[in-house]
Amino acid sequence: MKPAPFAYQRPTTQAAVLDLLARHGAQAKVLAGGQSLMPMLALRLVRPELVIDLGGLEGADRLAARDGQLEIGPLVRHQQVVESALVRTEVPALAEAAGWIGHLEIRNRGTVLGSLAHADPAAELPALAVALGAQMICHSQAGERIVPAGEFFLGLFQTALAEGEMLVSCLLPLGAVARASAFTEFALREGDFALAAVAASLVTSPDGRVAEVRLAVAGMGPAPVTNETAQAQLVGQVPSPAVLREFADAVLSQAEPADDLRATASYRLKLASRLIVEALGESISRNPKGGVSRA
């Protein structure tokens, strides 16, 4: 199929983008990398009156540390993240998650913020953002709004972005939690969406007990699955394999996996449980001060 007719604009300033969004509202779609939007246009799943191409925005590919946070601009590509020495050192889970996305051609075009705004529950980056406590910076003509990642993803392809609003950056915290982060997933073939994926960070104290833990699971419901109560209960415990398996069960009590042609819901749950333990174990190995009990 071919897309339905639409107008096209390529503004050179963010102010011009926000003006177009204010005037066209829900009838406008923002184009960054286009790896999700273009197929949806071709299949006529969306029929906007206007497509706003961000490719003309100078400096929109900014990926840098600022005030103890990693700032990701709207045109930062997945492969840019994979290859960044800063990201690999300071937020290893982000580099790992981006490396799982599609194939090299897709990573060279697709953008981090585009994936976050698309909010596919099977995608890697929404879960990563939730797990690491990202801040989503949203702009409109009314001003700036900061939305925690845990409140940004509302459901299947649904976010907290309001009409006329644009996701202009994502801020990920730097420090011990980010450096101890890990990401893992399982897909049937390279480039496929994962049957389950896990983003995690677990920091242990010098005595080997859990000091802080954050975790989110992709592909197990209409939005990234997390469990703040279970995370709070894990703090202070020695993260033995048995304790981590119990934690995984608690997290997945919030999951809503579905049967499909690739896997049953029960298989996804078993797979996700194993991936949670694996991701947490990798996080612990990256902790510069703590350790893990092998009991």
In a domain, 41, yes or no: yes
- Neighbour count for residue 13 (Cβ, 10 Å): 11
Q: Are 77 and 159 in the same domain?
A: yes
Residue the block writes with tokens 């829900």: 26
Same domain as 158, residue 82: yes
pLDDT tens digit string along 256-272? 999 998 899 999 999 99
| Residue corresponding to tokens 């601009």 | 73
Residue 162's contacts (CB-CB under 8 Å, 6 or more residues apart) are 138, 140, 145
* Per-residue pLDDT tens over the stretch 53-62: 999 999 999 9
Structure tokens at 209: 């007990």
**Residue 158 in domain:** yes
Domain identity same for 114 and 40: no
Based on the structure, what is the number of domains in the chain? Answer: 3
135 assigned to some structural domain: yes
Residue 105 sits in the same domain as residue 162:
yes
Q: Are 68 and 165 contained in the same domain?
A: yes
Check whether residue 187 and residue 128 sit in a common domain: no
CATH of the domain at 227: 3.30.390.50
Rg (CA), the chain: 19
Q: Is 37 part of a structural domain of the chain?
A: yes
**2, part of any domain:** no
Residues 279 and 261 in one domain: yes
Q: State the residue range of the domain holding 167.
A: 63-173
Give me the pLDDT at residue 276, please. 98
Using a pLDDT cut of 70, give the percent of the chain over it. Answer: 97
Residues 95 and 149 in one domain: yes
* Cα(294)–Cα(238) distance, integer angstroms: 10
The per-residue pLDDT for 192 is 87
pLDDT at site 269: 96
101, 17: one domain? no
Residues 79 and 160 in one domain: yes
Q: For strands 7-9 and 50-53, give the pairing.
A: parallel
Last residue of a domain, one of 173, 188, 223: 173
**Span 27-56, pLDDT tens digits:** 999 999 999 999 999 999 999 999 999 999
Clarify whether residues 23 and 72 are in a common domain: no
Domain boundary pick from 153, 173, 193: 173
For residue 292, tell me if it sits in a domain: no
> Does residue 291 surpass a pLDDT of 70?
no
Packing angle between helix 92-99 and helix 124-131, nearest 10 degrees? 170
The dihedral formed by the CA atoms of 280, 285, 286 and 287, expressed in degrees to the nearest 10: 90
Residue 292: the pLDDT is 42
How far is Cα of residue 75 from the mean position of the Cα atoms in its chain? 15
Q: What is the pLDDT of residue 293?
A: 38
Give the three-class secondary structure for 149: helix
Percent of the chain residues past pLDDT 90, beyond the cut: 93
**Residue 289 — pLDDT band, cuts 50, 70, 90?**
low
- The band of 97, judged by pLDDT with boundaries at 50, 70 and 90, is very high
What are the pLDDT digits (tens) for 124-182?
A: 999 999 999 999 999 999 999 999 999 999 999 999 999 999 999 999 999 999 999 99
| Residue 208, Ramachandran bin (φ over 0: left; ψ between -120 and 50: alpha; else beta) | left
Confidence at residue 178, expressed as pLDDT on a 0 to 100 scale: 95
CA distance 138 to 189: 35
Within a domain: 1: no
Across 69-98, average pLDDT: 97
Residue 167 CB contacts under 8 Å (≥ 6 apart), including other chains:
74, 113, 116, 117, 136, 137, 138, 161
CATH of residue 38: 3.30.43.10
pTM to 2 decimal places = 0.93
Residue 107 lies in a domain: yes
d(Cα 282, Cα 95) in Å, to the nearest integer? 14
The phi and psi torsions of 222 (rounded to 5 degrees) equal -75, -10
CATH number at residue 101: 3.30.465.10
CA–CA distance, 131 with 250 (Å, rounded to integer): 16
What average pLDDT does the segment 89-95 reach? Answer: 97
Same domain, 49 and 113: no
